[in-house]
Structure formats: structure tokens, C-alpha cells
Amino acid sequence: MEPRDLRVSDAEREHVGELLQRAVGQGMLSLGEFTERMDTVLAAKTRADLNQVLVDLPGIRIRPEYQVESAPGLPQPVHPAAAYPNTAPGTPLVLKGRLSSLERKGRWHVPPVLTLDTLASSVTLDFTEAVMETQVVRIDVSDYLSSINIVLPAEATADVNAVENVASSVSSKVRSGAPYGPLHLVVIGKVRFGNLTVTHPLSTRLRKFFNGS
């Protein structure tokens, strides 16, 4: 079997998703192109499927632990723990909540990727004073029965189109489109029997209301 025909893991898909986010931050991809390529990544079954979203991006390289000696440039299966060592910069932040209240606000550190794994919880993620490593941040959501409120700075943008909702409410009250402000948030995953809202702080909403915008 050719290396390009080997099956890929979730860790490989996540890694390629990070590379695409980097390409957006460097101006090589538009938001529409990013979304299209992420759809390909999430549906990828083989290394060839993954490699096709990176071939035209100069300087974007898969990390060495994903390389195959017989086929440089193609990802290879690795254990998720190896893909995201705890000491490496940009390590994904995993937030878990079970029948609880989960909150992040103030000057908390935000890596390029967050994983939100929640059940019947109340969640608030406030990015207005957060310290971010990258302009584009992705949140991977896997939720049952929770209320998730995400608060973004005034000039931030967001894309929630890739969120699958099952008997749920998913809405964004902020501008979408290509990244141009301090933060562009991409939310993917699944919300089941809950609700997810992306919004601005109350002060920003009131200012826009009184300004007629």
C-alpha cells in the first residue's frame, strides 16, 4: 500500500487544522478558503486527502513527528499525546465541565486551539482581556445540555457555521468574514440539547445600539 493511501487519525486532522489557521494568520488563505479546506480536513480518510489542502501553501510544514521517512511531507499516525506534548508552545487547552460552572475571564492565556468538553454545565469564555498566541483561535466543542456563552472583543470576528447542533441553539451576534481585528474565532464540533452564543460585551452592544449601528 502507498503511504498516501494510509488512514489518518484525529490527531493528524487537528494538526493540519492548526497549519491552516497559521496560513490564515499569515494572509495566505481567506476565511472562505479556510472553511472549505477545514471541511476537507474533517472528512479526510487518507494522507492524500490531508496533503491536498497544504500543497500550495509555501512555508507551511507538517511537524517532524508526522513525517513518513518513505514519503516526506505526508503525515503519519502518532499517539495524540505525542502530537501535543505538554511542554510545547501552542499546546491545546482542554476545558472539561460536568454538571458544573466553568468560567475563563481576565488575562487568561489562549493557545491557538481550545477543546471544550462539557455536560450539563454553565460555561463563560470571555476573550475581551485574554492574551492570545495567534489571531485565529479555534474552539472544538463537544457538548451535551450546556449553556455556552463566548464573549469577544469589540473588533473580533467569528465563524460558527461548522458547529453541528442537535436540538440546540447556536448563534453568533458578532461580525463574520475574514480575520482583520485582534481575534477571529472559529468554532467547530457538536452541541446537543444545549445552546451556544458568541457575542460582544454588554458595553459594546449598548454603544452600537446608541450609535445606531
In-domain check, residue 88? no
User: Average pLDDT for consecutive 10-residue bins of the chain (213 residues)?
Assistant: 75 82 80 84 86 81 52 38 37 88 93 93 94 91 95 91 93 82 90 95 58 54
Residues 103 and 73 in one domain: no
| 72 and 99 inside one domain | no
Residue 175's CB is within 10 A of a number of other CB atoms, namely 14
- 138 in the same domain as 166: yes
DSSP character for 46? B
Q: What is the pLDDT of residue 203?
A: 61
Q: Do 117 and 178 lie in a common domain?
A: yes
Q: What is the pLDDT of residue 124?
A: 96
Helix ranges (H only) for 30-166 are 31-43, 47-51, 80-83
Beta strands at 131-132 and 109-110: parallel, antiparallel or unpaired: parallel
pLDDT for 199 equals 94
Do residues 121 and 204 share a domain?
Answer: yes
Question: Which residue among 83, 101, 125 closes a domain?
Answer: 83
Cβ atoms within 10 Å of 127's Cβ, excluding its own: 23
pLDDT of residue 12: 83
**Residues 131, 57, 8: CA angle, nearest 5 degrees:** 85
E strands present in the chain: 93-98, 101-104, 109-110, 113-119, 122-126, 131-132, 136-144, 147-151, 157-166, 169-172, 184-192, 195-199
| Per-residue confidence (pLDDT) for residue 69, from 0 to 100 | 39
Residue ranges making up the domain that contains 8: 3-83
Domain end position, chosen among 83, 114, 146: 83
Residue 73's nearest CA partner among 82, 60, 85, 89 is: 60
